[in-house]
Structure 1
């Protein structure tokens, strides 16, 4: 009887040990996921987890401020801006939109909000957000060149009258083989060049001001130019397209930057514009959003407030 009892106790202990072992393995697996330890399943894909995305949630629309060239081009290209009976342009962006005042803030806002949607310059796009295909076309420089991705606009610089001195020399650099290579290398589309660059050695200081979308590539152009003309001093002021054009008209900057076509009032104010590059506008969502593409009509409906939740977006 004692032997039988000992045998039963031993079997029970072994069963408990086996169960405990199984539990330990499961816990270890859970812990490895919690602590970020790579498992076989984890290593098979680097894609963001979209499984918890709730399609019934409200769409958090992110737009740019009034005066932004990116906003101006975006609402025009998607038909969000329309003319009234008197021919006046009306911006129909939903009043529920959160307004961001720069490219950097837009990227941060969308990256930090699972249910957000916004738009940025293609050249400023990074992996903190996901760019959607529009009407089946991916937002790439190659597709803009091919004409399949149609959400594109010009990058303009403008001066009051003809540029002279250092401003003229810098503009000559921008439009040279070397300057347009900087533009291409940073993900924008060259508009052709004026040949190889030779500086005239101009010195002094100029101010370049305006669009936050143009600013990143302008910073690269300034750095490359100053490597050639070391005596040049160029101050870069980031704001928006309208502010840049106003500053150029008023003479508070030497070169204005706009990420759109110039308005009639700006050319009538004495500004001479030059396209330095073409740029796409990428419609972006959070990386956890399972959606990969939209139609142009989808985008318009979202940004005008006709569609307010993710499950309303047409497939």
Structure 2
């Protein structure tokens, strides 16, 4: 436990004990015995240390986040991730949200389409994190969802499923699940072949891919599709080595990757910067987010005035 949080915890314990002795209230004593917080103890304190939560290396969400917020710099011609070593590392979208939901002083980031009511999304540079604001270019923290296939692959089920994803019907599934699809896509006119394929990669893309698989199997029940959730880098490398028939990446593809795979943008997604619902902060600037993740700002009152 960090020093400030330890001191704050001692202060809360002392306050509760003092109230119980000073006023002789059986109710307050019972609350202290049961470990319940009094109203004053539950107030959010901006002087507390920020719990910085990030994603693992290989995560497309992390790659897009550090690029969009400038949490990287060039050294010897290569981009270097400057995320503070104090950051807690999570390995999936769901773990990220659970971690932030369980810590009043935490900050993290997730796919906008995966956002739920367990956490609070902050405005960034005055704009709310919504699909509509991404469309009108007021919320600028967005990235592509790519699907990739190995160059020269002739798997008919993979080709047909990709055609479904990029069709009017597939893009409607994308839009219905909170992402931005292609409104001008043509109707699906595939061959509906039988067979099995493996789709794998980004945990951010997986939720909408699961919905696409369900929808596709309704029009092609002869297709068997296995979904594996890993990360963006694994999604691409496993497609190259043949472990996946279709890979998922929640970031831009690298030049060395496009030499091996064919990529298509299946959706546009925002990255929501999230905090615990007890946090009184509603908005941060891009620069403030950067100072947190590079370790320049250590407590909430250093960024929230």
User: In the TM superposition, what is the alpha-carbon distance from 1:291 to its structure 2 partner?
Assistant: 0.3
Closer, same or farther: CA 249–50 of 1 in aligned 2, 3 Å: farther
Query: Aligned partners of 1:224, 1:314: CA distance in 2, in Å?
Result: 45
**Aligned-CA RMSD value:** 1.8
Q: Equivalent residue for 1:233?
A: 224
- Residue aligned with 2:262, SS: strand
Q: In the alignment, is residue 195 of structure 1 matched against residue 186 of structure 2? A: yes
User: In the TM superposition, what is the alpha-carbon distance from 1:194 to its structure 2 partner?
Assistant: 3.5
- Residue aligned with 2:178, SS: coil
Closer, same or farther: CA 255–193 of 1 in aligned 2, 3 Å: farther
- Residue aligned with 1:207, SS: strand
Q: Which structure 2 residues correspond to residues 103-182 of structure 1 after superposition, within 5 A? A: 103-164=93-154, 165-182=156-173
User: In the TM superposition, what is the alpha-carbon distance from 1:191 to its structure 2 partner?
Assistant: 3.0
Closer, same or farther: CA 170–158 of 1 in aligned 2, 3 Å: same
Gaps of 5+ in 2: 1-26, 35-39
Q: In the alignment, is residue 215 of structure 1 matched against residue 206 of structure 2? A: yes
- Residue aligned with 2:48, SS: coil
Query: Aligned partners of 1:57, 1:289: CA distance in 2, in Å?
Result: 11
Query: Aligned partners of 2:221, 2:304: CA distance in 1, in Å?
Result: 55
Q: Which structure 2 residues correspond to residues 252-291 of structure 1 after superposition, within 5 A? A: 252-268=243-259, 270-291=260-281
User: In the TM superposition, what is the alpha-carbon distance from 1:82 to its structure 2 partner?
Assistant: 1.2
Give per-residue Cα distances to partners, 1:244-298, cap 9 Å, x unaligned: 1000010111000000011112112x11100000000000000000000000010
Q: Select 1:300's aligned residue among 279, 290, 301.
A: 290
Query: Aligned partners of 2:214, 2:57: CA distance in 1, in Å?
Result: 30
CA contact (8 A) 2:171 2:185 kept: no
CA contact (8 A) 2:50 2:106 kept: yes
Q: Select 1:61's aligned residue among 52, 58, 61.
A: 52
- Residue aligned with 2:110, SS: strand
- Residue aligned with 1:108, SS: helix
User: In the TM superposition, what is the alpha-carbon distance from 1:56 to its structure 2 partner?
Assistant: 1.1
How many residue pairs get aligned? The number is: 269
Give per-residue Cα distances to partners, 1:179-224, cap 9 Å, x unaligned: 0000000000013454111330201100001000000000000000
User: In the TM superposition, what is the alpha-carbon distance from 1:162 to its structure 2 partner?
Assistant: 4.8
Normalised by the length of structure 1, the TM-score is 0.82
CA contact (8 A) 1:63 1:100 kept: yes
Gaps of 5+ in 1: 1-26, 35-48
Larger radius of gyration: 1
Q: Equivalent residue for 2:83?
A: 93
Closer, same or farther: CA 113–266 of 1 in aligned 2, 3 Å: same
Normalised by the length of structure 2, the TM-score is 0.85
CA contact (8 A) 2:144 2:269 kept: yes
